[in-house]
């Protein structure tokens, strides 16, 4: 069960894996903006091809990406349907009360569908090829300029990495407590909403207490190992830019260039 939770990172060995997590994170954020450059069939085709190539480059099974889209499929369909039914303009095929299906509506619905799917695909590429820890490192790097605004970036980074490190531990703990309470007759899966909410109490209370205990123990261990705040600390994990990040940059420049050329005025 814990395998699902931890960022769904799937180990692999393709070019995307070798990229610097900072590059990947920035590329993923940039992609969300770039996708709005597309506004006609050609540009959508280009951006779809480029995204599918990135997906292909991960050398992972298509099922992984389908799993990424699946939880959001209803949201995608719902949004597309709204676009379909409420957009007017162009040739009108069908009209009933406030609902209309027009040529603009159909096109818009398809655009929205593609846009949504591509954003999910690209963020899935990021999460499956990058370890959560690397993403945390990348986020720390992106936050670094905030130091000038007196934001304690180092401490936030430490908090992030400790939080990530304890996700599986707390998850195991939760399963253990659930089983222990089950063996004493607790029932987590039956009854109405209120009964189920009540059943959570014997799970949450011990979990809170054990987290606090863990925090105290960890603080003691950290202090006795010489931790005294982030000042004067060096870093063991250092991110390095590689030539693969240049490939990615080139890829993006090409994509933006093509989009700008074929974009409808």
Partner 1 sequence: MPNKNIIQLHNVTFTYPGSHKAAIDNLNLNIEKGSWTTIIGHNGSGKSTITRLINGLLVPDKSDDTYIEVDGIKLTEDTVWDIRDRVGIVFQNPDNQFVGATVADDVAFGLENRGVPHQEMQKIVSEAIKSVGMSNYTNMEPSNLSGGQKQRVAIAGVLAVKPKIIILDESTSMLDPEGREQILTIIKNLKEQNNLTVISITHDINEAAIADEVIVLNDGKLISKGTPKVIFTKDKLLHELGLDIPFEFKLRQKLIEKDISIPNDIQSEKELVKYLCQLNSTM
If the CB atoms of residues 183 and 224 are measured against partner 1, the closer one turns out to be 224
CB atoms within 10 A of CB 253: 10
139: region left, alpha or beta (phi > 0 left; psi from -120 to 50 alpha): alpha
Residue 45 Cβ vs partner 1, minimum distance, rounded to whole Å:
41
Residue 176 Cβ vs partner 1, minimum distance, rounded to whole Å:
12
The residue length of the chain stands at 265
Residue 21 Cβ vs partner 1, minimum distance, rounded to whole Å:
13
Q: Where are the alpha helices (DSSP H) in 144-230?
A: 153-182, 193-224
| Residue ranges binding partner 1 (CB under 8 A) | 2, 6, 133, 161-162, 164-165, 168-169, 172, 213-214, 217-218, 220-228, 232-238
If the CB atoms of residues 94 and 227 are measured against partner 1, the closer one turns out to be 227
If the CB atoms of residues 159 and 254 are measured against partner 1, the closer one turns out to be 159
Residue 225 Cβ vs partner 1, minimum distance, rounded to whole Å:
4
Determine the straight-line distance between the first and last CA of the chain, rounded to whole angstroms.
51
The answer to whether 132 and 161 have CB atoms below 8 angstroms apart is: no
192: region left, alpha or beta (phi > 0 left; psi from -120 to 50 alpha): beta
If the CB atoms of residues 187 and 223 are measured against partner 1, the closer one turns out to be 223
């Amino acid at each position: 069960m814990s395998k699902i939770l931890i960022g769904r990172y799937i180990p692999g060995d393709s070019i995307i894996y070798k990229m610097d997590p900072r590059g990947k994170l920035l590329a993923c954020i940039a992609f969300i903006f770039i996708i709005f450059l597309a506004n006609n069939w050609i540009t959508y085709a280009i951006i779809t091809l480029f995204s599918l190539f990135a997906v292909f480059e991960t050398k992972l099974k298509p099922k992984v990406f389908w799993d990424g889209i699946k939880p959001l499929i209803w949201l995608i369909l719902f949004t597309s349907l709204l676009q379909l039914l409420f957009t007017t303009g162009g040739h009108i095929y069908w009209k009933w009360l406030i609902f209309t299906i027009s040529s603009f509506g159909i096109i818009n619905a398809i655009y929205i569908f593609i846009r949504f799917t591509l954003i999910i695909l690209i963020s899935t590429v990021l999460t499956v090829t990058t370890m959560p820890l690397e993403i945390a490192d990348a986020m720390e790097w992106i936050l670094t300029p905030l130091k000038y605004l007196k934001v304690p970036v180092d401490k936030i980074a430490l908090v992030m990495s400790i939080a990530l490190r304890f996700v599986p531990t707390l998850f195991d703990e939760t399963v253990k407590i659930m089983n222990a309470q089950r063996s004493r007759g607790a029932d987590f899966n039956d009854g109405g909403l209120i009964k189920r909410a009540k059943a959570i109490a014997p799970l949450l209370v011990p979990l809170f207490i054990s987290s606090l205990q863990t925090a105290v123990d960890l603080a003691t261990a950290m202090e006795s190992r010489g931790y005294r705040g982030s000042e004067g600390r060096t870093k063991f994990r250092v991110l390095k830019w590689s030539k693969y990040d240049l490939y990615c940059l080139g890829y993006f420049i090409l994509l933006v260039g093509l989009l700008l050329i074929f974009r409808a005025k």
